[in-house]
A and B are shown apart, each in its own frame.
Chain A
Amino acid sequence: MKVLVPVKRVIDYNVKPRVKSDETGVDLANVKMSMNPFCEIAVEEAVRLKEKGVVTEVVAVSIGPAQAQETLRTALAMGADRAILVQTDADLEPLAVAKVLKAVIDEETPNLVVMGKQAIDGDNNATGQMLSALLGWPQAAFASKLEISGDKATTTREVDGGLQTIEAPLPVIVTADLRLNEPRYASLPNIMKAKKKPLDTKDIASFGIDTAPRLKVIKVAEPPKRGGGIKVETAADLVAKLKNEAGVL
């Protein structure tokens, strides 16, 4: 059984994004980039399935610039077997990403796709759902638990107000929520080994898919800042202010 894991290179989780002064986007020059945290969870889940003997091959895929090779090497160091980079310098919208992933899936024919529920840059939370719709494969989004038995995937999902469990026959698209697992840190020997694992690079043009942006970005602005507040000395002061000044009690 083969599992495909799409991964995205994004601004590091711990870096505070700064909006460019000309309001054309977020400044990514000389900023630390890492694997999207939700993609890390997806890689971890795939590698655990391999360690349990459920899957035999884990293939990581990234669509991005040449530097996304580093992100793929991280996936390989975590335990993926091989990697594919679909190279482009353009910033693709979720629909275009889903179409390219569908083309990769048509070639690779995996039994399962595990991917992050959203990337922390665009925060769209859309690609997995779109991919499921384009492929006509069952969708198990926002997974906090995944079990594969035979040709069936049973997924516990985070829904409004609690958890829901669904099952579907493979192949299935699973999107990872935060509590699916805690990703491992790659060990130094595994980082060294990852350098020798196969990484194929394909030009995005070779897929013949229209990936041009559909939306026009008018501007990217800083959110309004909250005015500075005050410190109160006691709980009684606090209650008095909330009643008399703020009028919220």
Chain B
Amino acid sequence: MAVLVIADLNAGALSDNTHKTVSAAKAIGGDIDVLVVGKDAKSAAEAAAKIDGVRKVLLAQSDDLGHGLAEAIEAVVVPLMSGYDAVLTPATSQGKNFSPRIAAKLDVSHISDVVEVVDASTFVRPIYAGNALETVQSSEAKKVITVRPTAFKAAGEGGSASVEDIDAGAGAGATKFVGEEIVKSERPELTGAKIVVSGGRAMGSAEEFQKVIEPLADKLGAAVGASRAAVDAGYAPNDYQVGQTGKVVAPELYIAIGISGAIQHLAGMKDSKVIVAINKDGDAPIFQVADYGLVADYKTAVPELMSALG
């Protein structure tokens, strides 16, 4: 049994999602290799080599791989699969973009968004926006899987695997990278943050969102999130969205401010360890999942919270 984990990079650096996916790979069992695809990704590969339990790290580099183009990544991974029984990728936007292509090329199922490895061929995954958990068994020769990183503990450090350069493949073919706009932030990354402060439609404007949510987040060293309603209304950027159709988070502490708690939002945060809800509507569904609820207008509650935090 041999498992290939495809590393997740954030601004060129190895992301914690990789360590979490290695944990999922350990639950499957067998030798674990990590594939790092990117551009100028040598240091990310060296970081991956230090993850506990990794046998070796494969490094493929090109411009197209650096831009994360799906066709380019598929072209590197598919030929490698003759040597592996399973390939696991973190279920980030990037992972979701290319992983199903690998399954199609190998003529096997894609097992999306796995939250639990029962055994080497049995997996649990959320369906219907997390309203149900499906346990599926695969008898196929190769398993192609995306792993929901928040569902697994990060594998530790302490490994000393070798790093091997491999062929960067044929590139993305006809697809060309034109440009990107990546939001730069000093705050922790949303899906990996220990604390998340999220604002909802009650904020009423982008100015109010920035004035209320961001200082509280900065005081707590937290990442900023938002409900879909707040994002759709233009109060917060797209990549702040927490929910079924946005990011799935599971921090130690999730603070929902002025968020009613639509099913689709709950699907993105209900696995948080501690949930706090501040909402002036005491009947809002968010209170049904909150460990601590404060029925109050955020306009008075957030300043009080800021001063109580000292």
* Interface residues of A, Cβ cutoff 8 Å to B: 11, 16-17, 19, 26, 93-95, 98, 120-127, 129-134, 138-142, 144, 154, 158-169, 177-179, 214-223, 226, 228-236, 238-239, 241-242, 246, 248-249
Contact = CB atoms under 8 A, between A and B. Distances in A.
A133 B106 CA distance: 10
Contacts of A216: 136-139
A126 B99 CA distance: 8
A226 B289 contact: yes
Interface in B1-55: 10-11
A126 B110 contact: yes
B131 A17 contact: yes
5 contacts: A26-B128, A158-B239, A229-B287, A229-B293, A232-B294
Interface stretch (B158-166, B175-183, B200-208): B175-183
Nearest to B94: A160
Given A139-B70, A178-B245, A248-B252, A94 B136 contact: no
Contacts of B126: 123, 223
A235 B301 contact: yes
B112 A154 contact: no
B118 to A, nearest CB: 8
Contacts of A140: 175
B68 interface: yes
B145 to A, nearest CB: 11
A161 B112 contact: no
Nearest to B107: A95
Contacts of A241: 292
Interface in B231-274: 232, 238-239, 244-245, 252-253, 263, 270, 273-274
A232 B293 CA distance: 6
A21 B127 CA distance: 16
